[in-house]
Amino acid sequence: MKSMECTVTDGKKQIVVQPAAMTVFLQNKMVEAYDAKGSVYYLVFFKNEYLTTWKAESLRRRSFLEKACKYGVVYQSPHPFIREVLSSQTSYHKRSLSQLRGKFQGQHTTQETALMLTFFDAFVSKKELFKEIQSFYYQHRRSGQLFLGYRIIRLLQDFTPKHSWVKQMANDMEFSSFKDLYQRSAPELWEKDPIYMEKAHFYARKNSENTTRLLQFLKEEKRWAEAFSLMVDLISRYNAEAYYKELLQWLKLYYDKEEQLAVLEDLYDRAPSIKRLQEDLLEMYLTENKLENALILIKRHHLALEGKNEAALENMLATMDLHTGSIPLDELSTYIVPLYETQPQKAEKILQKCVHQLLSDRTIQDIMNWLAPVREKYQSSPTVKQMDKMKKLREDPDKQRELGEMLYEFNQLDQAIECFSWEMELNTTDPEPVRWLSKIYLDLGKEAESKAYQDLYRKMQKANA
């Protein structure tokens, strides 16, 4: 997939940035991007909503961003999930924290606003953010909204768990009934405090019931990047293959073939041992004519080819050109070796084709070296035996006609001409090399040369009669 660019607007200045990675963690998405000078920017999102862009002069440690990278899912650009979040057609306005406060208050609850403020502790003083969030608690306290105030306390327990004020308030007896709700993870909290329940279920996602409920919640909110990332996390971190089938179904609904392949390649990098994923990737590589990727996968996992996959590989190998540089030629023989374990006839056909092409511009000794991995395990290979025989014939000047016949079988007509010409000079009365030369020149479309040798062949036959 091609990399993308997007535009950040800072006042009257427009900055073109290129996304490098995106981290998805709970309700946050953070896109790391670079401008032409190498400066780092972070585009910050709350759920599906863009908030602001922050230029990273330096990053504070033990921040939300650091936690997100540790517990969330990080995607490298280009990745379809990043394109799901960003658009090259949109200009992303850089807002200050004070501008964000006004935006938050008009569109979000105080709890959501407090949560969004925690996203910025890598860039802004934690003390400043704490005071702002603390003010929401006092606002609810003055209004007698104890539960709303307690939701802010719960959020601060994550943000500044060691703060003495937070510890004191969390243990205040007037919140004991609310505290019991959270300790029991009561179902009604999905209505009363979905932010907390999403977090609690995420951290307990190894439990299938929690995962099912969390996925349902994310789908209800149409937060597809988060839903897909949860599945990716479960598959890669816990080897939960059960979610692979569901992820695949969703990918086929939302993305084209190229994007599906990009997602599966990323997933394979995280969880290469999943058999179904290996097989699906192989099928896609063969469908998309990605021979090198297919051969690497076959070698790495000793994959067997069946049905349409077998036919697709055969077709690709029948039309491949080893001289284009798109195939890792020096390693190709090592990719063929595993095929001998599952499909020796198929492997032999591939090997034969490779040798056919290699003979046009490589010496027999070069090809012998190239065949070493195959010879090491499968000395009985007919192609290996042919090449061993050709090497011996090459070293024997009295066997050039036999070598020429073998080269002809490999369609190496120019080299065969050299052999038969040598044989013709060595045995001036033997018409057989002349007959071969006439045949080969005809195959090459050189009718005049072919006719000249054909005439000479007839004269020699009459002279020997």
- Whether residue 39 lies inside any domain: the answer is yes
Nearest Cα residue to 213 out of 40, 204, 368, 447: 204
Domain-located, residue 226: no
Q: How many domains does the chain have?
A: 2
**Amino acid sitting at position 173:** M
Q: Residue with structure tokens 């407090």?
A: 114
Look at residue 427 in the predicted model and tell me its pLDDT. Answer: 86
Q: Are strands 13-25 and 73-76 parallel, antiparallel or unpaired?
A: antiparallel
Residue ending a domain, among 68, 95, 122, is: 95
pLDDT at 127: 94
Q: How many CB atoms lie within 10 A of CB 267?
A: 22
C-alpha span between 165 and 25 (Å, rounded): 27
Please, how many CA atoms are within 13 Å of residue 247, restricted to the half-sphere of its CB? 26
Greatest Cα pair distance, the chain, in angstroms, is 124
Decide if 159 is inside a domain: no
Distance CA 281, CA 294 (A): 8
pLDDT of residue 226: 95
> Rounded CA gap, 109 and 148, in Å?
10
Which segments of 171-301 does DSSP mark as H helices, in order? 176-183, 189-192, 194-203, 208-220, 224-238, 242-254, 257-270, 275-287, 291-301
Whole-Å CA distances, 344 to 90, 175, 334, 341, 374 = 55, 72, 14, 6, 11
Angle at 344 between CA 343 and CA 347, to 5 degrees: 90
Q: Let me know if residue 344 belongs to a domain.
A: no
**Which of 63, 80, 95 lies at the terminal end of a domain, its last residue?**
95
What pLDDT, on the 0 to 100 scale, is given for residue 298? 86
Measure the CA–CA gap between 454 and 413, rounded to whole angstroms.
17
Q: How many CB atoms lie within 10 A of CB 159?
A: 19
pLDDT reported for residue 324 = 64
> Would 139 be classed as within a structural domain?
no
Whichever domain contains 410, its CATH number is 1.25.40.10
Q: Look at residue 189 and tell me if it is in a domain.
A: no
Evaluate whether residue 45 is within a structural domain. Answer: yes
**Cα angle, residue 108 at apex, residues 106 and 111 outer, rounded to 5°:** 130
**Measured on CA atoms in the order 293, 299, 300, 306, is the torsion positive or negative?**
positive
Low-confidence ranges of the chain (pLDDT < 50): none
Q: Domain boundary at 95, 129, 152, which?
A: 95
Can you give the pLDDT at residue 363? 82
pLDDT number for residue 100: 84
- pLDDT at residue number 465: 66
Q: How is 151-205 classified by DSSP, letter by letter?
A: HHHHHHHHHSTT-HHHHHHHT-GGGHHHHHHHHTT-TTHHHH-HHHHHHHHHHTT
**pLDDT at site 289:** 84
Q: What's the rounded Cα separation, in Å, for the pair 27 and 218?
A: 10
Domain that holds residue 443: 397-465
Residue 310 in domain: no
pLDDT at 160: 94
